[in-house]
Amino acid sequence: MSDVLEIRARPDATPLALRHADLQALPASEQVPDVGALVPGRRGRAVRLAALLERIGAGAGGRHAHVASRDPSFAVSVPLEELAGALVVYELGGAPLPPAQGGPFRLLVPGHPDECVHVKQLARLELADVPGRDTRPTDDAAHAALHKKSKP
């Protein structure tokens, strides 16, 4: 499993490639030491997605975020405004976020009604003008089955 997170302002842009140490080195003002304070039941240290988007010049970027997991069968595409307040969790107990917790990177979106937007094993996030690939279930029964299957 790769330990690099790629973020890009548009599909044809060179990605910003980030590793655990890169996220650790970001200023304290961009860090969230305990995500549980914002997303009850979750643990870990995170950076604010807005800080990463600022680094890629996302102000001129697209209106949609294409979010891809390392699992090639899972991707989400959402309007960018739905990711307001989003966090990228990268650490638990001073070590890289373990795969059992969705690592090495996990997207959490406080208050978002769809748990599928909390993407485990986050690999890429890219901005675009139009919606992209989205593999979330399209009906409530399939959605409930997916979440029942993914819980221990």
pLDDT of 152: 46
pLDDT string in tens for the chain (152-residue length): 579 999 998 888 889 999 999 999 999 999 999 999 999 999 999 999 999 999 988 666 678 999 999 999 999 999 999 999 999 999 999 999 999 999 999 999 999 988 889 999 999 999 999 989 998 877 666 666 665 655 54
The model's pTM: 0.89
Query: CB of 63 within 8 A of CB of 50?
Result: no
Backbone angles phi, psi at 68, to 5 degrees: -120, 135
Question: In this structure, how many other beta carbons lie within 10 angstroms of the beta carbon of residue 93?
Answer: 10
* Gap between the Cα atoms of 46 and 64, Å rounded: 22
What CATH fold (topology level) applies to the domain 5-150? Sulfite Oxidase; Chain A, domain 2 (3.90.420)
Name which of 123, 57, 136, 119 is nearest 83 in CA terms.
119
Domain ranges (residues) in the chain: 5-150
Question: In this structure, how many other beta carbons lie within 10 angstroms of the beta carbon of residue 152?
Answer: 3
